[in-house]
């Protein structure tokens, strides 16, 4: 039995009841991974919203430069008081470390210099506190009082009934 050559037969035709397949589409991308969801049916958490900015009830008292001056004066106060107390303590530590002969020498009968300088730390700290209070009364209190009066007058004009 002889068979016809392979290319001698016509190609098979699709059956009329079959439709051709649609072209192959690539996979759709997966949604981003959300590690906070334990179960897929959980609702998505709310996105945090920035709080609405509130307007002040009253206008700012005085000029902003007055507040800057007051903050700068307080900063200066803290620096002076801190450097006074810490400067003396640092001097005491430096002398103890680098000049032990001076610290072990005696000032009067049996009183070493190191002990005398150590006992002077308490009065120096008290002096720093007194210096802070003195300069606060002289420089900061008048400025703070002026700002307080401006705030009171601004509050009185903004709320004539006396209630803020």
In the prediction, which pLDDT does 94 show? 93
In the prediction, which pLDDT does 90 show? 92
Q: Rounded to whole angstroms, how far apart are CA atoms 29 and 109? A: 92
| Tokens linked to 92 | 């005491």
Those residues whose C-beta lies under 8 Å from the C-beta of residue 62, and which sit 6 or more positions away, are: 146, 147, 150, 151
In the prediction, which pLDDT does 154 show? 77
Task: Tell me the mean pLDDT per 10 residues along the chain, length 164.
Answer: 63 67 68 63 72 67 71 85 86 92 88 90 87 86 85 75 55
In the prediction, which pLDDT does 13 show? 73
CA 113-117-123 angle, 5° bins: 150
| Tokens linked to 22 | 């649609």
| Tokens linked to 159 | 């709320």
């Amino acid at each position: 039995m002889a068979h016809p050559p392979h290319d001698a037969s016509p190609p098979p035709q699709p059956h009329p009841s079959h439709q051709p397949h649609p072209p192959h589409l690539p996979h759709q991308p997966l949604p981003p991974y959300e590690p906070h969801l334990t179960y897929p049916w959980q609702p998505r958490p709310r996105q945090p919203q920035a709080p609405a900015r509130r307007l002040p009830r009253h206008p700012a008292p005085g000029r902003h430069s007055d507040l800057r001056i007051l903050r700068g004066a307080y900063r200066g106060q803290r620096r002076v008081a801190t450097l006074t107390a810490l400067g003396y303590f640092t001097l005491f530590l430096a002398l103890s470390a680098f000049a032990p002969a001076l610290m072990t020498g005696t000032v009067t009968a049996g009183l070493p210099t190191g002990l005398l300088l150590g006992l002077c730390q308490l009065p120096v700290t008290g002096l720093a506190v007194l210096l802070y209070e003195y300069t606060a009364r002289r420089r900061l209190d008048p400025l703070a009082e002026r700002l307080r009066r401006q705030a009171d007058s601004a509050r009185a004009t903004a709320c004539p009934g006396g209630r803020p």
